[in-house]
Amino acid sequence: MNLVIASDHAGYAMKENVKKYLLEQGHKVIDCGTDSEASCDYPIFAKALCKEINNGAAELGILICGTGIGMSMAANKVKGIRAAVCSDYFSTKFTRAHNNTNVMCIGARVMGEGLALELIEVFLNTPFEGGKHLRRVNMLED
């Protein structure tokens, strides 16, 4: 799968480990930064990630910041992006199945890497159910 990943300084270490994991799983990964733990502005990296999804270079994206909330807010400002903070199994599964979320946001300061990797697998492997949910997703786009 073609994926895109980005983080701010708070999510940098986790991003690097997640990227390594995804590459080991055989995914293509576009890294939109940041490239260090130096303080930076998360909206810049969220916007870069969203651009890669909207131009078709990647199918799904993963944004990582301290809580996942800031990245989610920034990503959801971009037309065509449906981003959700994912911190538990149920929400992660159903944000894909019912909302066709194309960007998952993770809080590096609120969850460990083991849980993050498990939730990433759920996110990547849960298909959109369509049906009545497609009608609702289309309403979001309107």
**Residue positions annotated with a catalytic role:** 65, 98
ω into 34 cis (within 30 of 0)? yes
The distance from CA 87 to its chain's CA centroid, rounded to whole angstroms, is 12
The neighbouring-strand residues paired with 2 are: 28
Q: How far apart are CA 29 and CA 15, in angstroms?
A: 11
Amino acid identity of residue 36, one-letter, is S
